[in-house]
Structure 1
Amino acid sequence: MATRSRTSVKNVQNENSTSSQGNLDFQLQNDTIVEQKQKEREARKHLVLWKKPLRTLQYFFLECILQTKNWIVRLRTKKRTLSAIFLLAAIFLILYYFDGPHMTYFHKWQKTILWCGYWIGLGILSSVGLGTGLHTFLLYLGPHIAAVTLAAFECMSVQFPEPPYPDQIVCPEKMEEFMTIWTIISKVRLEAFMWGFGTAIGELPPYFMARAARLTGVDPDDEDYEEALAQEEEENPHSLSSKAKLAVKNLIQRAGFLGIMLCASIPNPLFDLAGITCGHFLVPFATFFGATVIGKAVIKMHIQKIFVVLTFSEHHVDALVDWIGYFPKFGPSLQAPFREFLRKQKANLHRPVGTHVESSQSWLQWVFEKLVIIMILYFVLSIINSTAQSFMARLQRLKREEKDKKAQE
């Protein structure tokens, strides 16, 4: 009996040692993979136009060619959808180019549809690209709301033409006794909603990528948010960015529809992570997109509109111009062009309809135009860099898979 007990104890010890050795080997292998992926991330960060222009452009074009081929293959499998789209387009062209009673409705809705499409496109550009979007709110929608606000307080009316506006807004003859913030918000509601709807559409790519990766069983590589969260928490668990990412992930997992809507309702640069989280956990498309549209196009847009309208109300603008004069040395010299710019804008609002406006450009307009050009160039460069880095990640993943196959053989 003693011999058997000793033998069983030795067997248990051997099994424990074998198990611990296996766990150690697995941990070492996992650490090696994490370290390798970290090196790959660092290599991709250096693949930018200002460091490696030729290789960046090469990878950019190769990724574009590859994505085009993939889209062609996918479209071939959607023959019914393509046929329906072509049929509708053909019917639209026939109705558009042949005269008839329907042309009255076509002309009535044509400008409105184009106006809505314009703001939807700007909204998509603002959020698409995983952080490389063009800030179209600051460049287009914000200034548009500010211009309508200034015109509404100067004209004491919002009865100038419905969108799309002409090149210049002209004050109507009939004026109201007072102007409310809600009246101005209602005037810009269409374009603001369409812009917010476009930003919701721009959030779909990370959702679909994470969803496809989960359904196909493919490891989403460095885009896997769980790995990114674990690594950042391990490196700097008390950082604000790490806490914010974990908060977004936990909120969406626990609150579902309301959590997504809350994340979309506030200015949130981490909302890409919300899309990846929803795609990874296979949240239904209707739930994700519906909550995103309500959050971005309704709640968030009303918050932003109220802020812009309050900021550019007449008494606030006058107070801001007065405060500029208190800056030492440069205050009075900066205050004068601002006053002149506002004076010209108000004078243009009261001109007779059809009167030609002299094209005189102030230095403020010149600065704004150059700012728009710089931000558009940055947007284009960031898209090229991110596309090239995507192709590099694809190559790194293929090399890793080939290395694993050789190790298994």
Structure 2
Amino acid sequence: MALNEPLNRKLRMALVGGGQGSFIGRVHSIAACLDNRATLVAGALSSNPERAKASAPDYGIAEDRAYTSYQEMLEAELKLPEGERIDFVSIATPNHVHFEVADAAIKAGFNVVCDKPMTFDLAQAEQLLETVQANDAVFALSHNYTGYPLVRQAREMIASGELGEINAVRAQYIQGWLRTSLEEEDQKQAAWRTDPSKSGAAGAFGDIATHAYNLGRYMTGLFPDQVSCSLKTFVEGRKLDDYGTAVIRYENGALGTVTASQISHGRENDLEIEIDGTKGSLRWRQENPNEMIYRQNGKAHQILTRDPNAPFMNSMGAAACRLPSGHPEAFFEAFANVYASAFDAMAERAAGKSVEKKDTVYTNCYDGVEGMYFIQQCVASSGENAAWVPLKHEAARR
């Protein structure tokens, strides 16, 4: 099959952010190009014009398409012939820049893949949703953990009723890298993540608890109703939370917990989720992503491994695999699966088809609004001594 039919070519990518010292920008560029369906041709890689230009050779971006601002990039790309200009913009900046870039790119007619959380605050998220609804561009949010084959396996298992009614969801994301005040040592990643003017109202909860919360929503499909949350800052002088726990009441009566830490010694990227249903339970860990434990009372525990040819793999899980069993697939491949799903939608748009915006395999703008509402309500609850507050966002469900 030709690449990205009916385009029959690679999609042309632009990257905003991701300049020297960035982690996630490099991940976006690798993931987008992993399946040979895209090529990085342009970028506005830093808010610092000199750094933006200096970073371009690291990505192989030609000098004439190494822009010093996203505004310059969008304007210049629109002037190019349609057969040369970019197809989509990937946003890999600190949170406070997400909205302005995404909003401008969509209004200019370009597709967007944006890093999480979607925006700086809920008001921006709701405004961006209006922009997405009013335009035909594809918008995807890079909650990359939803791209793991066994996560998608679990999603289909739950949707088909294999676990029965879901009673409980326990998700946690535990790190230890901010145990000390790295932000005071000019460490770039720590500096913006602990700065409320760049990160937003939450620290660890805005950075990694959103992944844990989103994973539960993605796998179970349960709608939240209320949340009670306690956030804590343990490192003296830090302006945002570095630890917290939320309890969630779902509409079907299930209970959920989300715990996030960035101050737990020796912990790296320990994202884990357990889901209890009336017929069975699942457990999956991101640090061992090619195995998932399936349990039923009275039966031997099963370890489901990532194997695209195994009879126990369902269609969604198998479709997310690239390699035979025994060859580990992990972070980059999962990230690339988010891009692959978004590319399918971009190709449909290019074919003149109406693009689904809400019921998508990749996380979308509606999911992004839910994520921002989760952050806002957790901060609000914590400020009221863990009071129960609403977690049902009607606009994100329409």
The question of a shared fold, defined as TM-score above 0.5 by the shorter chain, is answered with no
Range class of TM-score, shorter chain = under 0.3
TM-score of the superposition, structure 2-length normalised? 0.21
More helix by share: 1
Structure with greater proportional strand content: 2
Q: Structure 1-normalised TM-score?
A: 0.21
User: Which protein has greater RCO, CA pairs closer than 8 Å, 6+ apart?
Assistant: 1
